Structure 1
Amino acid sequence: MDGNIVLCGFMGCGKTSVGKRAAKLMNRKFCDLDQYIERKEGLKVSQIFERFGEAGFREREAAAVREIAEKTNMVVACGGGTVLFPDNVQAFHAGKGTILYLDVPLPALQERLKGDRKRPLLQKPNRRKVIAELYEQRCPLYQAAADLTVEAGAPACVVAKRIAEAFL
C-alpha cells in the first residue's frame, strides 16, 4: 500500500514526533503539514494567523492538503485543526490516504502543552481551560475523520512502532 498515512489529533499528541519515526521505520517520506505551509508561504504559522487570521491560515492549509494528498508513500502530520474540515478529510481520502487519530488523554496533553509558546490558539492566560474546551470540541471530530484510532499516550518510539507494524 502506497497511500499516505495521515496522522491527526489534538495539539501535543505527537503527530510530528511519531510521524518522523514511523516514516523512517516504514521507509516513507515525512511531511509536517504546518512546516510545509511555512516553507510555501515564507512565514511561520503564528505570522500567518497574525496577518491573515485563522480563516486565511485555513485557506492555505486546505490548498496544502490538496497538494499533499496527490503524493504517495508519505506519513503526513496534520495540524491540530486540519481534519476538522470535511473538505480536507475528503481530499486525503480521495488520494487514498488512511487517517489515523492519535488519541492521548486530556491530562497528558495538559502536561505536554503547559509551556507551549508557539501555538496561536493557546497563547491565552487561561490555557488549561482553553485546552479542555478545545479537546471536548475536537475529539469527536477527530474520531469521525479517522479510519483508525491509535492509543498514543506511550512514548513516540512505541507509538511509531505500532503504526509501522500495522502497515507493513
Structure 2
Amino acid sequence: MSDNGPTITVTRGSRPEQADPKPSASSARARSSEWGLPGPGAVVSSLVRGARAAWWAGLGVVGAVQDAGTQVFDALVEEGRSWERAERERRAQTARRVRQATDETDPIRAAEERVQTDVNDILRRVGVPSRDDLEELRERVDALGARIEALARSIEEADSYP
C-alpha cells in the first residue's frame, strides 16, 4: 500500500493476563490420567477456551474490518468530492472557451475585411479596377450618356427650326 492509503490499527480490547491458580488435587486428577494424559474435563475445558478465543478473534476481525471499511469509505468519499470539483472546473472551462469562440464574431469579420483589403490592394497593383472604381466609372458613363442624350435632343430641336 502507498503511504497515503488507509491504515488499519486494532485498538479494541487487550489480552488479559491470565492468573494461573494452583490446581487442587481433585482438579489435578481431572486433568491428567495415570499415564500423564489430560483427562476428559481438561480436554473439554481446553476446547471451550479455544472456541471462546476463536469467537473473540472473529469478533475482533469484524470490528477491525468495520473500522477499516469506515476509513476506506471516508477516503473514497473525499476522493469522489475532489474528482467532482475537478470535473466541474474542467466543464466550466470548456464552456467558457466555447462561449468565447461563439462570441468572437467581430474578430472573424475583421479578418475577412483584412483579407478583402489585401486582395483589393493586390488587384489594384496588377491594374484590375476595384468594385468602387467600377461603380464610379458606371456613374460617370451614365452621367455622360444623359448629357449626350440632352445634346442630341437639343440638336434635333435646332434642326427642326427652319
Where on the TM-score scale, by shorter chain, does this alignment land: which range?
Answer: under 0.3
- Could you say which structure has the higher helix fraction? 2
The two structures have a TM-score, normalised by structure 2, of: 0.19
Higher strand content, 1 or 2: 1
Q: Normalising by structure 1, report the TM-score.
A: 0.18
Name which one, 1 or 2, has greater alpha-carbon Rg. 2
Question: Which structure is higher in RCO with an 8 Å CA cutoff and minimum separation 6?
Answer: 1
